[in-house]
């Protein structure tokens, strides 16, 4: 069975500092990996995805993530955090990239960026 | 751009009552998903439909049912409601981008169900 783990419930970062939100996955085939962000009382918003190719993928709002097959990780990064980045971040995986492929989410990581 | 529309946004029900949530996917999206997110929890997959046919089923209770209609909107019906059904219910829709594309789900804002 496929699963996603986000080892940190919360990450605290000072504004302007780099941030990393960790994600590891466990799947039996080639994973398709995603990051979503959730603001309070809002739906999940897509940030970026890894399908194939370059291990470093760039997404919305200056976020990027690095796929590491040997470590089965897909950590989310941003060089300089903003207070407005404070939100709940979910890593997700699917094995099926075509119709009907559901996403399996990690537990979520609360990112708090302080001024 | 059009987004995924969910209604109602908030719903309060008593135990053992019935609730129906509606989802209107993005036009031309062919797949609809339902997720349940309890307080402080990650979204849990319930069920999905591709071209109006059930395509996958997750941890959906037998008291719940769902369908996708000819206009592609979907409804989640929940009967004999229990306190534990109180959650945020998300609908998402997607469309395959192509042979090398990925199934990027676009989520609605959610329907918050409170069972008293």
Give the residue carrying structure tokens 């069920």. B47
The pLDDT of residue A103: 87
Enter the tokens of residue B37: 């997110």
**Out of B7-11, B40-44, B100-104, least confident range:** B100-104
3-state secondary structure of B101: coil
What span, in angstroms and rounded, lies between the C-alpha atoms of B64 and B55?
A: 16
Place of tokens 């950590």: A75
**Tens-place pLDDT, residues A43-52:** 899 999 998 8
User: A83 falls in which pLDDT band (50, 70, 90)?
Assistant: very high
Q: Which residues of B16-52 are buried (b: 16+ CB within 10 A; e: fewer)?
A: eeebebebbbbeebbbbbbbbbeeeebbbbbbbbbee
pLDDT at A1: 72
CATH of domain A3-114: 2.60.40.10
Q: B83 by DSSP, 3-state: which?
A: helix
Evaluate if residue A96 carries a pLDDT over 70.
no
Read off the tokens for A107.
């537990």
Domain residues of chain A, as ranges? 3-114
Q: Which residues of B touch A100 (CB under 8 A)?
A: 31, 48, 50, 55-56
Query: What's the CATH architecture for B5-115?
Result: Sandwich (2.60)
Query: What does each C-alpha distance from A13 to A22, A61, A114 come to in angstroms?
Result: 14, 17, 6
In this predicted structure, the answer to whether residue A30 has a pLDDT above a threshold of 90 is no
Chain B residues inside the 8 Å CB shell of A36:
107
β B111-115/A24-26 pair status? unpaired
Chain A contact for B2, CB < 8 A? no
Assess contact for B35 and B43: CB atoms under 8 A: yes
Scanning B51-70 for CB atoms below 8 A from A yields 51, 55-56, 58
Write down the pLDDT at residue A97.
55
Query: For residue B6, what are the β-bridge partners?
Result: B23
* Per-residue model confidence as pLDDT tens digits over B50-109: 888 998 888 899 999 999 999 999 999 999 999 999 999 999 998 866 555 567 889 999
What is the C-alpha separation between A24 and A92, in angstroms, rounded? 10
Residue A40, pLDDT score = 83
């Amino acid at each position: 069975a496929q699963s996603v783990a986000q080892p940190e419930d919360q990450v605290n970062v000072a504004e302007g500092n780099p941030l990393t939100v960790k994600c590891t996955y466990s799947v039996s085939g080639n994973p398709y990996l995603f990051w979503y962000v959730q603001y309070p009382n809002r739906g999940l918003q897509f940030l970026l995805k890894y399908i194939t190719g370059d291990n470093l993928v760039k997404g919305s709002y200056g976020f990027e993530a690095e796929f590491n097959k040997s470590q089965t990780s897909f950590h989310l990064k941003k060089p300089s955090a903003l207070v407005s980045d404070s939100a709940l971040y979910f890593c997700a995986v699917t094995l099926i990239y075509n119709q009907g492929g559901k996403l399996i989410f990690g537990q979520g990581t609360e990112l708090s960026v302080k001024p | 751009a059009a987004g995924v529309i969910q209604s109602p946004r908030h719903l309060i029900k008593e135990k053992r009552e019935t609730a129906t949530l509606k989802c209107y996917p993005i036009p031309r999206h062919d797949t609809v998903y339902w997720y349940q997110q309890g307080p402080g929890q990650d979204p849990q997959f319930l069920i999905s439909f591709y071209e109006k046919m059930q395509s996958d089923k997750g941890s959906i209770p037998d008291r719940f049912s769902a369908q996708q209609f000819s206009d592609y909107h979907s409804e989640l019906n929940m009967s004999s409601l229990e306190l534990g059904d109180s959650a945020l219910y998300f609908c998402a829709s997607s469309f395959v981008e192509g042979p090398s594309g990925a199934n990027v789900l676009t989520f609605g804002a959610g329907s918050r169900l409170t069972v008293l």
